[in-house]
Structure 1
Amino acid sequence: MTGTVAVVGSFNVDHVWRVDALPVPGATLAGSYSTGPGGKGFNQAVAARRSGAATVFVCALGNDAGAHQARALCDTDGIELHAARADAPTGTAGIYVDAKGTNTIVIGAGANAALDPAFACKALAGADGPRVVLAQLETPMETVAAVLAWAMASGALAVLNPAPANADVPVRLLECTGVLTPNETEFAALLATHGIADIAPDRVPALDDARLHAWCRALLPRGTVVITLGAAGCFVSHPDTDAKGDACAAYRVPAPSARVVDTTGAGDAFSGSLCSSLARTPVAPFRTHVEFATAYAARSTEAFGAALAMPRT
């Protein structure tokens, strides 16, 4: 296994409006507009590469300006691109960001919906043995399942970022996942989908560690769950029988202070840099990887944008 991260996921052209307050039904607002590269998969691939790991990105693109942009950016950042040609436009996203850096996002899947399991697994097989494989939920569920299964069978660490939260995550995906990285909204959705608990997302950060740990164990009995909690840092739950070298199986890692201007892509910054750290120094204590990713994600909020806001280390 090499110290490579393989990211399988989406590429979107982001259309971003910056406004004083997020729009409500019936409102017409004045704001500034910009466009740039994004998509959870691409954001995470850029984060993995800029935080130090050799990176492979597997996706589907249309035959348009967005696809040309994706290829050029991968070339600039030194990301090895494997892109299926889709008979659909390259994916898009409409993003509204308010004065506090909070965002609302609408996704148009486009070519991302055409990423099929055979192409993705063939690309991974030709990627010189990645140590970590990272997937999200902006591509077809059968492709995500195949990719995670491929990683498990190949001896790579399978990491799933279960985002966006409106996608149901079947048990077969969790059974192939070594590390799960939900935010509080995604964690609450997973608990509800699998009949574990019914909890409001905004209550998750304040819950006691024992309860969170028990729910994480019910959700992913043999893997590690890292719940990202924004400015509150994150909560980590390891299997009770394998604490990854840490003193306890459940703990919190605080987030450093940041001058937040835009939280778009912060979760992607965390997942991508976590995988980078895991790939580069696999024998380090897991807490060390989480601390690195938490600091990296905080830095990403200090610049506007998604992929292009990922810091270079």
Structure 2
Amino acid sequence: MTGRVAVVGSFNVDHVWVAASLPRPGETLAGDYRSGPGGKGFNQAIAAARAGAPTDFICALGDDAGGALARALAHDDGIALHDMRSDAPTGTAGIFVGEAGGNSIVIGPGANAALTPAFVDAQRAVIARAAVVVVQLESPLDAITQALRIARGAGAVRVLNPAPANVAVPAELLALADVITPNETEFAALLDAHAGERIDATAIAALGDDTLHALCRRLLPHGTVVVTLGAAGCFVSHGARRVSEAEHARVPGERADAIDTTGAGDAFNGALAASIALGPGCSLNEQLRFANRYAALSTERAGAAVAMPTAAQVQARFGD
């Protein structure tokens, strides 16, 4: 394996409206509009590439302007694109951003929903050469499950970003993952579905470390759980197979002058994947520290994929 990252996931054309606040039901607001590239898969691929890892991106695109945009941007960032052509339009997202940087998002899957296990299987050589393989939940579950099966056979580190939270995660998909990276809402949903534990997502960050570690172990006994906690950083819990780290730890967040949090979670995941791929012998806590910094810097820029910084920009902003 060569330190490469392979991302299997979605590409969307983002349509973004920025207003003083997020609209309430029935409310009409005036704001500014912009459009640009996004989708969890593409955001994470861009982040991994700009963080320094050679990156492959496997996806489904329409034969339209959105698909042409994805192909051009992947080329510009040096990403090896492997796209299934679909008769459906390229995926889209409507994003509303408030003055404080928070957002609400509606997704139109389009071509993303057409990605098949057969196409993923045809990319077996691409997946097998990766050190780290990353998937999310904006693509069909059977396709991303096939990607992790191939990655397991090849010995790659398998990262599941279980987002968005409203998608039910099959037990097999959890079992295939070495690392899962839920935010608080996604973590609460996973606990409810797979551990029979109902917990308020807003209370997760305040839980004691031993309690949070025990919940992580119930959810993923064999692997590593990284719960992202927004500005508070993240909590990491290891299974028995990782002996080089403490069983659990909190990695503090970084201060940021956030203007747009769209794609911050994707920034974290892509940067973490790149750091793992490029530094397999390094401490995961240090890799999480870099991912926190990378995500923090991304929030100081508008947009999703276009907001992803380079590793040099992260170092210039935060130092060593």
TM-score with structure 1 setting the length: 0.98
Q: Which moved more, 1:94-103 or 1:283-292?
A: 283-292
The answer to whether 1:286 aligns with 2:281 is no
Give the match for residue 179 of structure 1: 179
Q: Secondary structure at the match of 1:56?
A: strand
Query: Residue 167 of structure 1: SS of its match in structure 2?
Result: coil
Alignment of 1:35-184 (within 5 A): 35-126=35-126, 129-184=129-184
Instruction: Choose the corresponding residue for 2:250, options 229, 238, 252.
Output: 252
Distance in 1 of aligned mates of 2:121 and 2:258: 38
Q: Which residue of 1 aligns with 2:317?
A: none
Which residue of 303, 307, 310 maps to 1:309?
307
Offset, 1:288: 1.2
Partners of 1:103 and 1:230 lie apart in 2 by 13
Deviations 1:135-178 (A, max 9, x none): 00000011111111111111001100000000000110011000
The CA deviation at 1:95 is: 0.2
Alignment partner, residue 224 of structure 1: 224
CA distance 1:221–1:34, change in 2 (3 Å): same
Q: Aligned partners of 1:302, 1:124: CA distance in 2, in Å?
A: 37
Q: Residue 37 of structure 2 aligns to a residue in which SS?
A: strand
Q: Indicate the residue corresponding to 2:314 in structure 1.
A: none
Report the equivalent of 1:271: 269
Q: What CA distance in whole angstroms lies between the structure 1 residues aligned with 2:22 and 2:176?
A: 38
Q: Is the contact made by 1:137 and 1:167 (CA closer than 8 Å) also made in structure 2?
A: yes
* TM-superposed deviation, 1:312: 1.0
Instruction: Describe the shift of the 1:285–1:3 C-alpha distance in structure 2 as closer, same or farther (beyond 3 A).
Output: same
CA distance in 2, matches of 1:300, 1:121: 33
* 1:236 and 2:236 are equivalent in the alignment: yes
Distance of 2:126 and 2:274 partners within structure 1 = 19
Instruction: Could you list the structure 1 runs, at least 4 aligned residues long, displaced by more than 3 angstroms after superposition.
Output: none
**Distance in 2 separating the partners of 1:79 and 1:124:** 17
**How big is the alpha-carbon RMSD for the aligned residues of Structure 1 and Structure 2?**
1.0
Equivalent position SS for 1:308? helix
Query: What code does the residue aligned with 1:267 have?
Result: G
Q: Give distance in 2, aligned partners of 1:240 and 1:284.
A: 18
The structural deviation recorded for 1:240 is 3.6
By how many angstroms is 1:114 displaced?
0.4
* 1:47–1:307 Cα contact (<8 Å) kept: yes
Structure 1 46/124 Cα, relative in aligned 2: closer, same or farther at 3 Å?
farther
* Structure-1 separation of matches of 2:270 and 2:136: 11
Compute the displacement of 1:128 (Å).
6.3
Q: Say which is worse superposed, 124-133 or 93-102, in terms of deviation.
A: 124-133
Residues 198-241 of structure 1, C-alpha deviations (whole Å, 9 max, x = no match): 01111111011111111111111111000000000000000145
Report the TM-score when normalising by structure 2: 0.96
Deviations 1:79-132 (A, max 9, x none): 000000011000000000000000000000000000011211322424561000
Find the aligned partners of 1:242 and 1:7 in 2 and give their Cα distance: 24
| Alpha-carbon distance in 2 for matches of 1:239, 1:287 | 15
Inter-partner Cα distance in structure 1 for 2:221 and 2:194:
13
**Partner Cα separation in structure 1 for residue 199 and residue 152 of structure 2:** 31
Aligned residues of 1:6 and 1:124 also touching (Cα < 8 A): no
Segments of 5+ residues of structure 2 without an aligned counterpart are 312-320
CA distance in 2, matches of 1:168, 1:126: 27
Q: Which amino acid aligns with 1:297?
A: A
Q: Please give the secondary structure, in 2, of the residue aligned with 1:242.
A: coil
- Secondary structure of residue in 1 paired with 2:199: coil
Output one character per residue of 1:269-304: Cα deviation in whole Å (capped at 9) or x when no partner. Answer: 000000000000101111111111111111110000
Structure 2 CA distance for aligned equivalents of residues 124 and 88 of structure 1:
24
**Residues of 1 paired with 2:52 and 2:120: CA distance?**
23
- 1:6 partner amino acid: A
Match of 1:2 in 2: 2
Paired with 1:128 and 1:218, the residues of 2 have a C-alpha distance of: 30
Structure 1, unaligned runs of 5 or more: none
Cα offset for 1:32? 0.4
SS of residue matched to 2:99: coil
Contact 2:60 2:111 in 1 (8 A): yes
Task: Determine the C-alpha separation between the residues in 2 that align with 1:101 and 1:286.
Answer: 29
